[in-house]
């Protein structure tokens, strides 16, 4: 669940990405096609937040381990991602992102897989 601090009249997507370190784990994905044929095709992703660098008051829980949905308007239904991959989001599309009925509709222009090396063992 994304906290309300990222919402004004417009969605503060760039601030959300900065505060979460722009590193998420893929939970699920499915093709996206705009019913009105206005937006490019893409991918709907359910992502898990892996970091939350924001400061909270009064014992408020952070967003780490929470999930959110995002649409990536990248012109393809396949970016080679698999469940469990780590990704970063790019090109926040403020013009087509919004907040309605307590839900964020977040749209980005691209998603990129992050290579996470395994920790090296001594010996």
**Tens-place pLDDT, residues 52-87:** 988 887 878 889 999 999 999 999 999 999 999 999
Of 49, 45, 65, 59, nearest in space to 16 by CA: 49
Tokens of 56: 């909270």
Q: What is the 3-state secondary structure (H, E, C) of 4-66?
A: HHHECCCECHHHHHHHCCCCEEEEEEEEECCCCCCCCCEEEEEEEECCCCCCCCCCCCCCCCC
Residue boundaries of the structural domains of the chain: 4-114
Q: Which helix (H) or strand (E) holds 82?
A: none
More confident residue, 99 or 123: 99
Q: Is residue 49 very low, low, confident or very high in pLDDT (cuts 50, 70, 90)?
A: very high
Q: What is the predicted pLDDT for the residue at 101?
A: 81
Query: Which of helix, strand or coil describes residue 89?
Result: strand
CATH class of 4-114: mainly beta
The helix or strand, by DSSP H or E, that contains position 67, with its residue range, turns out to be strand 67-72
pLDDT at 73: 98
User: Confidence class of residue 39 from pLDDT cuts 50, 70 and 90?
Assistant: very high
Cβ-based neighbours of 31, under 8 Å, separated by 6 or more? 41, 42, 43, 44, 77
| Structure token pair of residue 117 | 């090396």
Residue 103 predicted with pLDDT over 80:
yes
């Amino acid at each position: 669940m994304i906290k309300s601090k990222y919402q004004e009249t417009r969605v503060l997507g760039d601030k959300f990405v900065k505060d979460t370190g722009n590193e998420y784990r893929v939970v699920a994905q499915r093709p996206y096609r705009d019913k009105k044929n206005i937006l490019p095709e893409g991918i709907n992703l359910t992502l898990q937040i892996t970091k939350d660098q924001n400061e909270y008051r009064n014992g408020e829980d952070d967003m780490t381990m929470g999930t959110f949905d995002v649409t990536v308007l990248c012109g393809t239904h396949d970016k080679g991602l698999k469940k469990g991959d780590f990704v970063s989001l790019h090109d926040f599309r403020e013009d087509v992102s919004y907040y309605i009925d307590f839900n964020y509709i977040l749209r980005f222009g691209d998603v990129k897989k992050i290579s996470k090396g395994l920790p090296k063992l001594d010996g």
